[in-house]
Amino acid sequence: MKPSVLMLAPARPSAMERLARDYDLLRLDEAEDRDAFLDRHGAACRAIVTHGHKTIDDALLDRLPALEIVSCSSAGYDAFDVDALARRDIRLTNASPALAQEVADMAMLLAAAGWRRLVEADAWVRSGDWAGQGEFPLRRGLRGRTLGIVGMGTIGQRIADLAGAFGVNVAYWNRSERQVDAVYHADLVDLARASDILIVIVAGGEGTRHLISAPVIAALGPEGLLVNVARGSVVDEEALITALQDGTLGAAALDVFASEPEADPRFAAMANVTLSPHLGSATVESREAMSALMVDNLDAHFAGRPLLSEVALTR
């Protein structure tokens, strides 16, 4: 008998084909009456497939007594109550390995664009008054600068690898020191003070909310650049906006925002801010790989094999 899998959000077509073929796929995402659907099918569900923006909490889990695993097609899982999962010994997997390179690429693209003020330079030409404005203000080059990475996980290490091609020095902060070729800072303010560019790539959630605080932003300084490819909640946006407006911080390059799918309009009003609509993993190849990994983890679980990308939950 095929295991029953509850779908909270659709996946890529190739993954949908595999799920429909190998599992009893229960489409809660298409149900007109969710309560009635769960009353009918909830007791049989052994797995959930979803992305990290769909809520998984006690109210849902109480209706799924046979649930064994949640397989997530995104890296983040901010909407999941991980404590509730841990209390029930429910396993969790994410898709971080499948998107690591694309997000790392995006981080360095934003770092280079923000450092060289590419958005301002683009507007300089588009104004139609290049001759009248004169030469675009000179900037210092990237080579020899210090790049600080907040979070030396899989993606952070990919960023560090890419950074070498730009000739920058790499330093990092992490909750624990890693065996990597970069300078470790146990204090986040110290890392910001030592960095020209600070790239943020930690998980979201309450544990990292406003990790990038006013003191961290101030330590980065009036020539510094903050790049956020993590989650909008990780940065204190009010403190960031104030620092950008009063010159405490030089510039920012942001792919994520606290109020997605909207961004604070004050960011758009500032020329020293580079904006991107959460494009970190937004390539065809990456999204295919993320959905495939979600199904691969299900297959491994039900075959009794080790999971490919399990998230360690504190029980």
Out of 12, 27, 278, 288, the active site residue is: 278
Instruction: Look up 260 and say whether it is catalytic.
Output: yes
Q: Show the CA angle centred on residue 191, arms to residues 189 and 196, nearest 5°.
A: 110
Contact 12, 288 (CB under 8 A): yes
How distant, in Å, are the alpha carbons of 82, 193, 243 from that of 218? 33, 8, 7
Q: Show the CA angle centred on residue 71, arms to residues 70 and 72, nearest 5°.
A: 110
Instruction: Look up 41 and say whether it is catalytic.
Output: no
Instruction: Look up 278 and say whether it is catalytic.
Output: yes
DSSP 213-263: -HHHHHHH-TT-EEEE-S-GGGB-HHHHHHHHHHTSS-EEEES--TTTTS-
What is the spatial distance between Cα 241 and Cα 214, in angstroms, rounded to a whole number? 10
Out of 231, 237, 287, 301, the active site residue is: 231
Out of 17, 223, 238, 260, the active site residue is: 260
Residue 232: phi and psi, rounded to 5, are -60, -30
Cα 125–chain centre separation: 32
What is the spatial distance between Cα 28 and Cα 8, in angstroms, rounded to a whole number? 6
- Residues annotated as catalytic are 231, 260, 278
